[in-house]
């Protein structure tokens, strides 16, 4: 999967490059009139990046054209009228954006179960099926995003926008990015059993998508609020979510590392961890019942907080019984290496996203930094992973400390993304629940 010199490229490499350049040219010819010169530059950069991506990871030579074909089939089936989705079979049940999202959700849930069956039974065939289901779910996710982008323009040229503007859309993006990153490492390290853990965090995101769609009707496309009517959004948000996806992947592999590493636990330590887990369950139930009044937050925010505390209880039980799945999981060294690579990629893109966010803030609000709660917690996330990388690369830390640090890092990142909007207010309050 390494990048080869241009002279060593195969004809298939150049066919793929021509296809991507043709797709970029088509997009410019069709929609260039709606773009400013900044967006022209983004389109060019994205096209060249996709060419490089396909050359770097050969699987993308089939995945990206496959998604493009499905998206073109979906968009052409509309015939310029959004209402067509109500009576067109292929749109209603397969290729309308919401239909594709529902397929994505079902496939992720099934893939998660199949990964766990393969892990428990140590069945390579079952794990291969789970991997195929995950690829198909990612294909549905990308298709849904491309079709939704087109649907927004059918509502009106002033409404049309890239689908990364609200929690519903960015959670789909999160699922897609985290999946592709995992599938790359799955193939690179030949370790499919990692999917049982990584798919858990993706399934949690899928659960949020379903709740947000059914309870809040969030799947309905809305015009952008003024704060988001900027070309900065097109590059800041995707860069952010590459970071979020990488940090989530690292955290789930941290959990897997604990279950793969036979660390001796004293009975007293184990009993203490069990007691803390039980106390966490009690606290979670109390938050679920009384949290809305305690913290002056919505009922939905209280339920999400309860879920987070319950996850903490599960982690305490896992900490009490390390190594119980050592025979089924990849070696701790493999899990640690993949986690390190994920954090490295995530930190790079989160740094880029933070710089882009500061530039966007200067453009929108007249200053690069205002110590808004969202900005402050983004800085905390950045410092957390900067310290993680420092102690690993400079101090040589390995093992349980970094595994737990990855898990706690995801909790910090989740609070920065969702918790700030639930519990605090600021310039980014438009992203609340």
Q: What is the pLDDT of residue 330?
A: 97
> Which 8-state DSSP code applies to residue 121?
H
Query: Predicted confidence band at 94 (pLDDT cuts at 50, 70, 90)?
Result: very high
- Residue 85 vs residues 76, 141, 147, 172, 335: alpha-carbon distances, Å: 11, 18, 12, 21, 44
Q: What is the pLDDT of residue 209?
A: 96
Which of 210-219, 286-295, 339-348 tops mean pLDDT?
339-348
Helices then strands, counting H and E runs in the chain, come out as 15, 0
Long-range contacts of 186-192 (CB under 8 A, 24+ apart): 186/131, 187/1, 187/59, 188/1, 189/330, 189/334, 189/337, 189/338, 191/330, 191/334, 191/338, 192/115, 192/118, 192/124, 192/127, 192/128, 192/130, 192/131
User: How much is the average pLDDT of 267-294?
Assistant: 94
Q: What is the pLDDT of residue 426?
A: 65
Query: Predicted confidence band at 4 (pLDDT cuts at 50, 70, 90)?
Result: low
Tokens 């929690």 found at: 167
Q: What is the pLDDT of residue 10?
A: 86
Q: What is the pLDDT of residue 431?
A: 59
Q: Write the DSSP assignment of 91-112 as a string of letters.
A: IIIIISHHHHHHHHHHHHHHHH
Q: What is the pLDDT of residue 279?
A: 98
Query: Predicted confidence band at 301 (pLDDT cuts at 50, 70, 90)?
Result: confident
Tokens 């880029």 found at: 352
Q: What is the pLDDT of residue 44?
A: 94
Residue-wise pLDDT for 188-245, tens only, equals 999 999 999 999 999 999 999 999 999 888 899 999 988 888 889 999 999 999 999 9
Q: Write the DSSP assignment of 249-274 as a string of letters.
A: HHHHHHHHHHHHS-----HHHHHHHH
- The reported pTM is 0.95
User: How much is the average pLDDT of 160-180?
Assistant: 96
Q: What is the pLDDT of residue 428?
A: 65
Extract the tokens encoding 206: 């899928």
Q: What is the mean pLDDT of the chain?
A: 93
Q: What is the pLDDT of residue 294?
A: 84
The percentage of residues in the chain with a pLDDT greater than 90, rounded to a whole number, is: 79
């Amino acid at each position: 999967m390494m990048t080869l010199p241009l002279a060593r490229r195969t004809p298939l490499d150049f066919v793929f490059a021509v296809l991507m350049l043709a797709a970029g040219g088509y997009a410019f010819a069709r929609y260039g009139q709606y773009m400013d010169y900044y967006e022209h530059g983004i389109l060019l950069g994205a096209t060249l990046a996709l060419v490089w991506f396909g050359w770097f990871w050969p699987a993308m030579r089939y995945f990206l054209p496959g998604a493009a074909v499905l998206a073109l089939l979906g968009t052409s089936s509309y015939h310029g009228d959004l209402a067509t989705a109500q009576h067109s079979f292929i749109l209603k049940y397969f290729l309308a954006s919401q239909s594709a999202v529902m397929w994505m959700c079902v496939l992720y849930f099934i893939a998660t179960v199949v990964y766990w069956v393969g892990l428990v039974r140590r069945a390579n065939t079952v794990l291969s099926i789970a991997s195929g289901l995950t690829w198909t779910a990612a294909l549905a996710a990308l298709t849904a995003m491309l079709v939704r982008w087109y649907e927004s323009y059918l509502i009106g040229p002033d409404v049309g926008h890239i689908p990364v503007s609200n929690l519903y859309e960015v959670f789909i993006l999160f699922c897609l990015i985290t999946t592709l990153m995992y599938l790359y490492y799955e193939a690179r390290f030949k370790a499919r059993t990692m999917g049982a853990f990584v798919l858990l965090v993706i399934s949690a995101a899928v659960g949020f998508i379903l709740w947000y769609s059914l309870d809040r009707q969030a799947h309905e496309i809305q015009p952008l609020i003024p704060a988001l009517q900027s070309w900065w959004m097109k590059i800041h948000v995707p860069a952010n979510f590459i970071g979020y996806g990488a940090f989530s992947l690292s955290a789930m592999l941290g959990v897997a590392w604990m279950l793969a590493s036979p660390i001796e636990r004293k009975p007293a330590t184990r009993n203490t961890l069990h007691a803390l887990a039980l106390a966490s369950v009690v606290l979670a139930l109390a938050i679920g019942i009384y949290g809305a009044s305690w913290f002056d937050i919505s009922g939905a925010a209280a339920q999400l907080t309860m879920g987070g505390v319950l996850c903490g209880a599960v982690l305490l039980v896992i900490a009490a019984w390390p190594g119980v799945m050592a025979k089924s999981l990849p070696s701790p060294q493999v899990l640690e290496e993949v986690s390190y690579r994920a954090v490295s990629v995530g930190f790079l893109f989160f740094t880029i996203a933070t710089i882009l966010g500061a530039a966007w803030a200067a453009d929108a609000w007249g200053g690069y930094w205002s110590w808004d709660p969202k900005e402050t917690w983004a800085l905390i996330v950045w410092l957390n992973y900067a310290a993680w990388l420092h102690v690993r690369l400079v101090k040589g830390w390995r093992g349980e400390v970094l595994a737990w640090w990855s898990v706690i890092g995801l909790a910090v990142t989740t609070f920065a993304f969702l918790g700030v909007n639930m519990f605090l207010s600021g310039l980014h309050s438009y992203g609340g629940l």
